[in-house]
Structure 1
Amino acid sequence: MLQQHLRAHTGEKPYECPWQNCGKRYSRLENLKTHVRKHTGERPYRCTSCDSAFTNASDRSKHVERVHGGKKRYRCTDCQCAYTDPSSLRKHILNAHGQMEWIAYKNRRQNERQNCFLINE
């Protein structure tokens, strides 16, 4: 455990991908194992709600939260659509309302953040 922690500071990456011409290196063996699954196509972590499968448990958890559950906190200000993650909202705004509306949305969010800082000063 301490050895792993020290690698974060030293940048040491002793675990190298065995696939020819890959060259990826990792500080943790578990990260190398996950990476190798991308070469082999192995996806042992399956979603229990759909046919999706993943190379690691973390990606599966994010999928379950984003697709099958979770609160839809990211709302479109032009229509009633809501999403569980910001990238889905961005895609919606661009596809449904166009690039200019996306720029307007980003500007509104930026102004909200600036106003929040002013209120809290």
Structure 2
Amino acid sequence: EEKHHVCHICLKAFRTATLLQNHVNVHTGTRPYKCSDCDIAFVTSGELARHRCYKHTFEKPFKYSIKLKRHIRSHTGERPYACYLCSYAGKDAYKLKRHMAVHSALIILHISFAELIV
């Protein structure tokens, strides 16, 4: 992908004129995307859309609270699901269960190897 659109302030290059304009708006402090429900304005249309979804609709980006908790853990680094056999800890029960399969496979290999020796 060629980046032909160059910022005249810092010389960073972008693929599209829109991406460049959004970038220049950050430099200049220009916020052309204004919320029609309140006085807040944004640099990009995506920021405005996200604001409207969170603040002015009943839609929530996470349908289930457990998914929101898991998402928050991706920011906090919290890993409450700990393996009792090693130092692994996961953000959710599924990842711990998947990890435990590694231990199960190792135990089966160990037993099979022991049977070959006897």
Match of 1:117 in 2: none
Match of 2:37 in 1: 49
Counterpart pick for 1:107 among 67, 92, 107: 92
SS of 1:63's equivalent in the other structure is: helix
Measure, in 2, the Cα distance between the counterparts of 1:30 and 1:13.
12
Q: Residue 74 and residue 67 in structure 1: after superposition, are their counterparts in 2 closer, same or farther (change >3 A)?
A: farther
Match of 1:40 in 2: 28
Counterpart pick for 2:17 among 25, 29, 36: 29
Q: Does 1:18 align with 2:8?
A: yes
Measure, in 1, the Cα distance between the counterparts of 2:40 and 2:93.
35
How high is the TM-score relative to the length of structure 1? Answer: 0.55
* Amino acid of the structure 2 residue aligned with 1:37: N
| Unaligned 5+ runs, structure 2 | 82-90, 99-118
Alpha-carbon displacement from aligned partner over 1:56-83 (angstroms, at most 9, x marks no partner): 2122112211333213524159xxxx78
Superposed CA RMSD: 3.2
* Amino acid of the structure 1 residue aligned with 2:53: E
Aligned residues: 87
Measure, in 2, the Cα distance between the counterparts of 1:52 and 1:111.
42
Measure, in 1, the Cα distance between the counterparts of 2:65 and 2:35.
26
SS of 1:110's equivalent in the other structure is: helix
Measure, in 1, the Cα distance between the counterparts of 2:26 and 2:93.
39
How high is the TM-score relative to the length of structure 2? Answer: 0.56
| Unaligned 5+ runs, structure 1 | 1-10, 115-121
Moved >6 Å (runs of 4+): none
